[in-house]
Homo-oligomer: A and B are copies of this chain.
Amino acid sequence: MAQFEAGYFDRENRTFIITNMTPARPLVNYIWSEEFMMSLDHFGCGSSFGKVAYSTRRPLLGGAGSRLIYIKDRESGEYFCANQRYTAKPHDFHQAHIVPGGHTVIGEELGIRVRFSLTAPMKGFAELWKVEVENRTDKNRELSLYAHARLLADYTGHNSYTLADWNNQVGGVLYSHEIYPEPGVTHYEHAHLYFCSSYPVNSYTTDQKYFCGLYRTFAEPVCMEQDRLPNNGTSYSDSNTTAVEQRLTLAPGEQKTIYYVAGMAKTVEEAAQCAKAYLAEGLFEQTMQSRTEKARATEKVFWLNSGNDYMDDMVNTWLKNQVDLGKTWARVYGCGFRDVMQDVAGFGSLDPKVAREKILLCLRHQFPNGNTIRMFEPIMRRDYRDGAAWIPETVSVYLNESGDADFLNVECPYFESEETGTVLDHIRRGMTFLTTVTGEHGLCLWGAGDWNDSTNAAGLRGKGESVWLSIAAVKALKTFAKLLTDVGMTDEAQKWLREAELMTEKVNKYGWDEDHYIHGYNDDMKKVGAYTSEGAKFYLNMQSWAVLADIKQGQEGHKLMDRVEEELRCSYGYVQCAPSYTKGDPTIGRTTYFVPGCVENGAVYNHGVTFKIAADCHLGRGDLAYSTIRSIMADNPELYGCGVEPYAMTNMYIGPENPYCAKYAPCSWITGTAGWMYRCITEYLMGVQADWTGLKIVPCIPQELDGTKISRIYRGATYNITIHKGQHPMVVDGQEVSCNIAPIFPAGTTHTVEVWC
């Protein structure tokens, strides 16, 4: 079984159980709906906010001690914080249970076990808490339960607007911050935050002074020395908080369950209505139930049983969950055009309906000239150039999964323009942009960045050219041509293929350095990523993409990727470039200022590693692809203690050139790695690819995965697939088929597929 510093998987219950509550870094969990987001550490603390309008996120909860549950024994005066740990002394029992869409922290001391569970409703701006308190001793216990929620009412920092107190209409604590909406000052219509419980409140406070105390820490809150909270409201406080105290008597073995809701509303009346609705009996359990059902339904679309339990779990449950975050919230802090398009490509097979919506959402952020903005929600206009290159792939994924050819004719506006165009027109303009907005070598202009955001100065003056983007353009053009061919537009397909050839010639003529492709030319026409370059001389992505774009095929491809093995491999993946820059270069951009081994400057940047895995598979190098997958997954023993959540992919491991924290995984979840890793395993390693005419199955597995079984729902039919090592034509429902494409079957039918590789 895979070994993790943090804990272990309960496979059957799709739960990761955190047993080490003091891991290398706090473990992140996200719970989200389309309009609400909770970003939690493993203690259940962290921030939450609602998307109250386009690009408008109203904070609800966060800050130090954001969510705390304390138990005090009223007889002895002893107390403990059930979810957080602030002291050297460990709890008698302390775990966190992570499930998709849910989070439970279990803490026990003094013979009282508390289960603190969190989720969010699928609609609305609220978080739901469930607290189960169990008396595990053999005597009656008189307890005070303290629930502490740090509502972020005072978003302007102007305390004079803040008014907080118990509100009878709401039946709980109400925080109001109604401001005069000055120009230039953030203003939320949701001025009222509330915190209510299903169980009678004995006492409350809205001032941190009376809960934690001004001169204490949460290890030793001042309120624990009092009989109850002081029942006071606040205004003009810079130590706002919300805490309620409730009294429970528990017989031996008895358990009580108490619910809470924290939410936001435009009016006091709305707050009262919401609080009531969210505390309705059974709502918490119904919410978890419907979240689980949704997740299980998604699991069934692609169910992998390869014998590598951890990889199977990641594919079946966890990567799907992570990609759902990506396609809904992108990077949480904002929606990158590229990021959402890739996550949608990852999610397209799982929920084509949502993929369709998200593609249209993205395309609204494409300029009439075919280029796209860098990010929306909030809008970021920096002149990145790669947006268009991601469109054909994602649209193809959707079309192949759904068969919905009409989608190409759907009208969609351009960004900040009165023009609209069909989806097809959007792709065409994107391809025109990539093939015509070129520099003196005929390569795509680099602008303020390509995939590599951090080469943000290489093309600022309008001269620099990106070889990577030119290669990506070739791939995009070929993908587009395939799509056009599929829907019968072969003439136009030919036109774009000729563009791909022209670009390929330029890439090979100007983008090549001895034995590898360079990153590009900066505005001074200096090569970036060549042997003559200062700093990084060899980059990963250009090589992988040259293979994926069929610019280097067969032995040439192998030779190129062999150089990648020699130059970039380390014990936990492949670095983005080598060597790392050690000196800032203002003609390339911030990547060169990063400390060696960080992010694009020599980290094992996993998004790039997934491109490499796909390229390995594309070349038929299944062993290498699989060993690369394993190298960056959290069960690689080299990565023990690196900080990554075993239930999520990280965007990077700090590279081996970093003198301080090589291998460390500082971030997680919000990365394009998840979608690509999912596709690498399902579409490349397992080779199960939706195609226009049927389900293509071209596996590339290593010997040790011989006998892998897959269940895949495609256009409503179920394909039960077994992959064998060896040479044999594919067999569908007992019939040999020649082209490794299983036909499209009526929805609801089930079929068996045997496939060899």
Q: Which residues of A contact B (CB under 8 A)?
A: 21-22, 25-26, 85-88, 158-163, 165, 178-182, 214-220, 222, 225, 232-238, 456-457, 584, 586, 589-590, 592-595, 597-599, 601, 654, 658-661, 664, 666
Contact = CB atoms under 8 A, between A and B. Distances in A.
A479 to B, nearest CB: 32
Contacts of A216: 86-88
A163 B658 CA distance: 10
Nearest to A658: B235
Contacts of A456: 180, 182
B182 A590 contact: yes
A606 to B, nearest CB: 15
Contacts of A182: 456, 590
Given A214-B22, A661-B237, A599 B180 contact: no
B214 A160 contact: no
A180 B86 contact: no
A577 to B, nearest CB: 14
A660 B161 contact: no
Contact of A235 (B88, B220, B595): B595
Contact of A162 (B217, B590, B595, B659): B595
A182 B458 CA distance: 12
Contact of A594 (B160, B220, B599): B160
17 contacts: A21-B215, A85-B215, A86-B216, A87-B217, A88-B216, A159-B598, A159-B666, A160-B594, A161-B593, A178-B593, A179-B590, A180-B593, A182-B456, A182-B590, A219-B219, A233-B659, A236-B666
B160 A595 contact: yes
B25 A214 contact: yes
B584 A180 contact: yes
A659 B160 CA distance: 13
A161 B25 CA distance: 20
B595 A88 contact: no
Given A86-B215, A233-B659, A234-B661, 13 more contacts: A86-B216, A87-B220, A88-B220, A88-B222, A160-B590, A160-B599, A180-B592, A182-B456, A217-B218, A232-B660, A235-B597, A235-B598, A236-B666
B217 A86 contact: yes
A219 B218 CA distance: 10
Nearest to A215: B22
A178 B593 CA distance: 7
B235 A659 contact: yes
A160 B237 contact: no
A463 to B, nearest CB: 18
B180 A236 contact: no
B234 A660 contact: yes
Given A85-B215, A218-B217, A233 B160 contact: no
Nearest to A222: B88
A182 B460 CA distance: 11
B659 A88 contact: no
Contacts of A238: 666
A109 to B, nearest CB: 16
Contacts of A181: 586
A163 B657 CA distance: 13
Contacts of A660: 165, 232-237
Contacts of A222: 88
A584 B86 contact: no
Q: Give the interface centre of A233, A592, A597, A661 by most chain B CB atoms within 10 Å.
A: A661
Contacts of A214: 22, 25-26
Nearest to A592: B180
Contacts of A219: 217, 219-220
B659 A180 contact: no
B215 A160 contact: no
B217 A217 contact: yes
A474 B500 CA distance: 78
* Residue among A163, A165, A225, A233 with most chain B CB within 10 A: A163
**7 tightest Cβ-Cβ pairs between the two chains A and B:** A180-B590, A217-B217, A160-B598, A235-B595, A160-B594, A180-B593, A22-B215
A489 to B, nearest CB: 42
Contacts of A595: 160-163, 235-236
A644 to B, nearest CB: 14
Nearest to A207: B660
Nearest to A43: B215
A220 B87 CA distance: 7
A236 B584 CA distance: 17
Nearest to A224: B88
Contacts of A86: 215-217
Nearest to A159: B666
Contacts of A179: 590, 593
A105 to B, nearest CB: 14
A60 to B, nearest CB: 21
Contacts of A593: 161, 178-180
Contacts of A87: 216-217, 220
A523 to B, nearest CB: 14
Contacts of A234: 660-661
A178 B584 contact: yes
A236 to B, nearest CB: 5
Contacts of A594: 160-161
A178 B582 CA distance: 12
A219 B219 CA distance: 8
Contacts of A22: 214-215
A182 B382 CA distance: 11
Contacts of A88: 216, 220, 222, 225
A236 B654 contact: yes
Question: Most chain-B CB neighbours within 10 Å: which of A25, A233, A236, A584?
Answer: A236
Nearest to A162: B595
B661 A589 contact: no
